[in-house]
Amino acid sequence: MEDLVQMFQKKINAFNLLAFFILVSMQTFANGLFEGQSGEIISIPASAQEKSDVLTFKTSSGTKQLVSLPFVKQDLVITRHHVTVKVNWVDFGIDELTGDPSKVILSKPDQARANKEALEIKQALSVSTTKITPSFNFIAPVPGIVTSPFGIKRIWNGVPKSHHLALDLRGSVGTPIIAPLKGKVVLVGNYFYTGLTLILDHGHGLFSSYAHMSEIKAQLGDLVEQSDEIGLVGSTGRVTGPHLHWTVYFDGNKLNPESLIKENYLSSIL
Ligand SMILES: [Zn+2]
């Protein structure tokens, strides 16, 4: 009888232990799992182990840091910095376009040029200043309406192409483009795809790029304030008509610029 009681006791203990571990792992999962949308920024508790150039914000619920979420084609659970994040897929739609075939199927020299330029752009985005602290309170670089949203699937002359990870704003040739946030000019040039292009470094890994301009109004190394004119809308590079193609990069991902220009954006994500 005593043996039976002991055996029963052991079973109870094993069960308790198992239940305890399940509970602990569930708790860790609940604490560590964050959630956000494709191409957006979320805030997470800052980690003491992060590099010193990581931007942190003091809030009533502790010190936070910002994390960018990649564009995803389906819901995805990923690791970003020291957290696990569920990135929710967003249906951004499909856009059918027609254009100059020579700019859709590239000739060998064009492909070589485009590859070289892609590296140049990547290089410009590889180092970010810590001398500027971005406010994240963007304003629209041109007042035009959105002609092509972020994330839309593009089909060029019937050929499926990559998703549009930028925002197209309508504007006639010569419409002034202003800096949506303070920044340093880290790239200017004339590129195969993006035509006359300028990139701003807003600090701490936040960059923005302006493409297809008819004229560039700032020079490499210039420090521009929010609202300063940086160029004019044009139709240089691979385009179907004059517009501004505006890309925002942060923390290694391209973001949805339309979210960033919403009022009180930073406080909405902290
Ligand atoms: Zn575009």
- Please name the residue ranges forming H helices in the chain: 2-32, 108-124, 257-260, 265-269
CA of 245 to the centre of ligand 1 (A): 4
Q: Which class in CATH covers the domain with range 94-269? A: mainly beta
| pLDDT of amino acid 25 | 43
For the segment 200-210, the average pLDDT, to the nearest whole number, is 98
Reported as half-sphere exposure (CB side, CA atoms, 13 A), residue 83 has a value of: 22
CA of 151 to the centre of ligand 1 (A): 10
Task: Find where tokens 């210039």 sit.
Answer: 222
Among the ranges given (100-109, 221-230, 252-261), the one the predictor scored with the smallest mean pLDDT: 100-109
Q: Each residue of 20-67: pLDDT tens digit?
A: 444 444 434 445 699 999 999 999 999 877 666 788 999 999 999 999
| pLDDT of amino acid 27 | 39
CA of 172 to the centre of ligand 1 (A): 15
| pLDDT of amino acid 102 | 67
| pLDDT of amino acid 74 | 97
| pLDDT of amino acid 99 | 73
For the segment 171-190, the average pLDDT, to the nearest whole number, is 98
CA of 240 to the centre of ligand 1 (A): 10
Reported as half-sphere exposure (CB side, CA atoms, 13 A), residue 194 has a value of: 26
Q: Each residue of 74-131: pLDDT tens digit?
A: 999 999 999 999 999 999 999 888 877 766 678 999 999 999 999 999 999 999 999 9
| pLDDT of amino acid 49 | 73
Q: Each residue of 131-145: pLDDT tens digit?
A: 999 999 999 999 989
Q: Looking at per-residue confidence, does 16 or 252 come out higher?
A: 252
- What are the residue ranges of CATH 2.70.70.10 in the chain? 94-269
CA of 211 to the centre of ligand 1 (A): 8
Residue 187 has pLDDT above 80, yes or no: yes
| pLDDT of amino acid 239 | 86
Taking all residues of the chain, what is their mean pLDDT, rounded to a whole number? 89
For the segment 172-199, the average pLDDT, to the nearest whole number, is 98
CA of 195 to the centre of ligand 1 (A): 12
| pLDDT of amino acid 266 | 95
How many degrees, rounded to 5, is the angle at CA 153 between CA 110 and CA 123? Answer: 45
152: exposed, middle or buried (Cβ count in 10 Å: 0-12, 13-18, 19+): middle
